[in-house]
A and B are shown apart, each in its own frame.
Chain A
């Protein structure tokens, strides 16, 4: 069970048994070049309802393999450079530019602190931003950074409750790639950065293997 599946045979408005070209999808989704796993010939078109918008004949691709493992347990909305969804919304006059904005919300164990995130298509939410911004060009996709969005992290400062601070990076600087679906804050070299975190905070990592994948809530397979 992956957060709901699409079954064309249960839909009265679907045209299925299409290939990616027939459905109007982006063929690059079927190339499997970077671990993409949508079948070339298992596509359908159907009516897509989204907010107060309805789009007929919207292409839907069926993943033939596990998509991204525990990175990715839900159905996917494609928001890549040639996003079928953003193209369609733009072409039909629903949004004025192929723009999306994302805020993860607050994922906290305390339900009183938790807050839902947000995806905005066609603009952004001015209420949820503050201060100056950083704007950069999208760089071309690369194997190590599909998004083409690179950041320079100059400091990672631990702020202790007693007011002292310690920089985990200094004197290094890391270049990092934004990957919006990646489930942890940051990846960095275990040596020296994680080692520094452990020594600064008196924390020890637990290397015993876990049966359950972390972070992603798991579902029982038999109960579907």
Chain B
């Protein structure tokens, strides 16, 4: 996969007539808003005296449009998005979590994992990974026309490469869904066992059974829906990690330090 041409990382624009913001909506529900001064940036450089300088006469917008060789690349969400979003990656639980970011200098570190802490609960199915950026509507037909109209060797070479990449992604997706299916089966079996242990035949159980069958693994976790009340309230169960800090018990003297905050990551210091 070739990378986009460098000048397009922060696309130069001639006339700025946009003073608004940009909201990315994920999964149709979660909204992440980037304000105008994060989206549109002046050029930054380091002057000979070592100080940061900005040149607002040639601003750029933090978009990377792809075309030609890169047109079929998987779309990338990069670091400026994480002004509006906060991400946690738990390699042990093999999960990642994003929240809307609350821009503050306050800090309340919460340790994750260990024997006495809860693991992040998966609450969202990964997207179905189709050939990148191609969707189900108008654009597809436009692209199809374009590629079939120009069957030159260079295009075919690109197509071959991309097909390899896509195959890799598809393989990954298949492997991933295998894992998820396994997790689903395990959760389902566990759920079934729990239900068998409980009083059988109540309406709540029947409703729960129907509910579990109608939903994917995302609803399947150890403590969900233990009572009829929870079921009758709303299907949108709270699967989130706690967003409000709660006291975290330190495991029996084993962990001497909890979370570690690194010093500022955003002040490169030129050296001489």
- A-to-B contact residues, CB < 8 Å: 1, 3-4, 50-53, 69-71, 73-74, 79, 81, 83, 86, 89, 93-110, 113, 115-145, 148-161, 171-194, 197, 201-210, 212-215, 217-220, 223-224
Contacts and interface: CB of A to CB of B under 8 A. Distances in A.
Contact of A1 (B28, B96, B271): B271
Contacts of A120: 109, 259-262
A188 B259 contact: no
B20 A158 contact: yes
B135 interface: yes
B130 interface: yes
A96 B91 CA distance: 12
Contacts of B34: 185
Given A93-B254, A224-B272, A136 B260 contact: no
9 contacts: A53-B260, A83-B91, A93-B255, A104-B80, A135-B96, A139-B126, A154-B25, A159-B23, A192-B139
A128 B27 contact: no
Contacts of A134: 26-27, 30, 97-98, 123-124
B92 A98 contact: yes
Q: Which 6 A-B pairs have the closest CB atoms?
A: A97-B113, A182-B78, A96-B114, A123-B259, A190-B65, A129-B99
- Name the residue in A106, A126, A174, A179 with the highest tally of chain B Cβ atoms < 10 Å from its Cβ: A126
B52 A141 contact: no
B106 interface: yes
A173 B125 CA distance: 16
Contacts of B260: 50-51, 53, 89, 94-95, 120-122
Contact of A135 (B106, B124, B128, B242): B124
Contact of A109 (B56, B71, B82, B83): B56
A94 B256 contact: yes
B39 interface: yes
B206 to A, nearest CB: 29
B30 to A, nearest CB: 6
A83 B111 CA distance: 18
A188 B108 contact: no
Interface string B164-199: 111011011101100110010000000000000000
A143 B132 CA distance: 12
B235 to A, nearest CB: 14
B212 interface: no
Contact of A110 (B37, B65, B138, B142): B37
B228 interface: no
Interface in B211-248: 238-245
Contact of B63 (A119, A197, A212): A197
Contacts of B90: 97-99
Contact of B83 (A104, A138, A175, A223): A104
Nearest to B176: A139
A177 B64 CA distance: 14
A207 B5 CA distance: 11
Given A99-B112, A113-B37, A174 B135 contact: yes
B169 A96 contact: no
Interface in B68-103: 70-71, 73-83, 86-103
Contact of B30 (A1, A99, A107, A132): A132
B80 A137 contact: no
A151 B136 CA distance: 17
B80 A98 contact: no
Given A106-B38, A139-B173, A189-B66, A127 B22 contact: no
Given A116-B267, A123-B258, A185 B73 contact: no
B126 A137 contact: yes
